[in-house]
Amino acid sequence: MKILVTEKIATKGIDAMLQSGAIVDEMVGINREHLLEIIAEYDALVVRSVTKVDEELYERAGNLKVVGRAGNGIDNIEIEGATKRGIIVVNTPDANSVSAAEMSIGLLLASCRNITQADALLRSKVWDRKGFKGIELNGKTVGIVGLGRIGSLVATRLQAFGMKTIAYDPYITDERFKKFGVEKKEILEDLVRESDFITLHTPKTEETFGMIGEEAFRIAKKGIVVVNCARGGIVDEDALVKAIEDGTVAYAGIDVLVQEPNTTSPLLELKNVVNTPHLGADTVEAQDNVGITIAEEVISALRGEMVPNA
């Protein structure tokens, strides 16, 4: 069994693959051309969110049997191409949910309390207690778009802050809303109108791409807070910049961008935005969990055994 790993995963994951007797080549950051040249040698490929696993790659990957996505979102992997070639795609959707939920709340608090901006100013030797008046969460309404694994974890945690939780998710049962004590909104517009804070927790699909955009900002309350720790583009970035500039959005917390890596987004220039470079799953616990889980899944798939997240 020969496994190629193209993005950083936890040592515990690599060790688990080696212990199974597999040959593991770690080539973190390998360039595309080189990847296309060597992929034919491998039975399995393990990636995170940067490596594009597409038709061009499948065409060159004559021995590929398994693609392991060490993480949750599979928008960088073409599933159809894999399926038609009998290549199994596995991911680890539960392994980093708590970390992503905690990061979403971190971004929400950091942005609406100006934590990173105040820290930066103090580091420049300015003690300013006047310029950073924030807003409380208590008594406010948070609109959660997507009440899946992460959205529901965010909901119950924000309820502990005294927030009213409402959500829009047309694909789940009413029981799930009840289970998490979240009020269901049948249409997105109602959620947008009623929310003081909006946090996104859907996958990136044709339907969700740009779902919070100009139209949403037109009907939103003035001074809302927007958090995107899901996927770049679910909040339209140009519309968000405009909405921040015209005061519709008071604060934003952004972990993900359409183009990644990215050091030139206009969002990075705005003082009331807290930006992080896709760190939602970057905790010791999540990465160990993800690494071990993906190793077990890839090995099981290569051995022809049952795999939970295929």
Q: Which residues contact ligand MLT by CB under 6 A?
A: 48-49, 71-73, 96, 278, 280-281
Tell me the per-residue interface mask from 262 to 301 with ligand NAD, x by CB under 6 A, - otherwise: ----------------x-xx--------------------
Residue placing its CB nearer to ligand MLT in the complex, 116 or 283: 283
Residue placing its CB nearer to ligand MLT in the complex, 6 or 72: 72
Asked if residue 81 binds ligand NAD (CB under 6 A), the reply is no
Q: How many CB atoms lie within 10 A of CB 269?
A: 10
Asked if residue 65 binds ligand NAD (CB under 6 A), the reply is no
Residue placing its CB nearer to ligand MLT in the complex, 201 or 278: 278
Question: From the CB of 233, what's the least distance to ligand NAD, in Å?
Answer: 10
C-alpha 95: how far from chain center:
13
Asked if residue 236 binds ligand NAD (CB under 6 A), the reply is no
- Among ligand MLT, ligand NAD, none, the one that 121 touches (CB under a kind-dependent 5 to 8 A) is none
- Residue 278 among the catalytic residues: yes
Question: From the CB of 47, what's the least distance to ligand MLT, in Å?
Answer: 9
Cβ neighbours for 78, distance < 8 A, ≥ 6 positions apart: 53, 54, 55, 58
Asked if residue 97 binds ligand NAD (CB under 6 A), the reply is yes
Tell which residue, 111, 122, 115, 140, has the closest CA to residue 228: 111
- Residue 214 among the catalytic residues: no
User: Treating both helix axes as pointing N-terminal to C-terminal, what angle do 149-159 and 97-112 enclose, rounded to 10 degrees?
Assistant: 50
Asked if residue 302 binds ligand NAD (CB under 6 A), the reply is no
- Bond preceding residue 261 cis, omega within 30 of 0: yes
Question: From the CB of 98, what's the least distance to ligand NAD, in Å?
Answer: 10
Which residue carries 């109108």 as its tokens?
193
Alpha carbon dihedral 150, 212, 144, 73, in 10-degree steps, equals -10
Distance separating alpha carbons of residues 151 and 230, to the nearest angstrom: 10
- Residue 201 among the catalytic residues: no
- Name which position in 43, 236, 255, 297 contacts ligand NAD (CB under 6 A): 255
3-state secondary structure of 43: coil
Cβ neighbours for 91, distance < 8 A, ≥ 6 positions apart: 68, 69, 70, 71, 72, 74, 294, 309
Q: Stretches 51-59, 84-92, 140-148, 240-248: which one binds ligand NAD (CB under 6 A)? A: 140-148
Distance separating alpha carbons of residues 111 and 48, to the nearest angstrom: 27
Active-site residue among 136, 214, 260, 269?
260
Residue placing its CB nearer to ligand NAD in the complex, 170 or 247: 170
Distance separating alpha carbons of residues 206 and 234, to the nearest angstrom: 10
Q: Which residues are catalytic?
A: 231, 260, 278
List interacting residues with ligand NAD (CB under 6 A). Answer: 72-73, 93, 96-97, 100, 145-151, 168-172, 201-205, 207-208, 229-231, 255-256, 278, 280-281
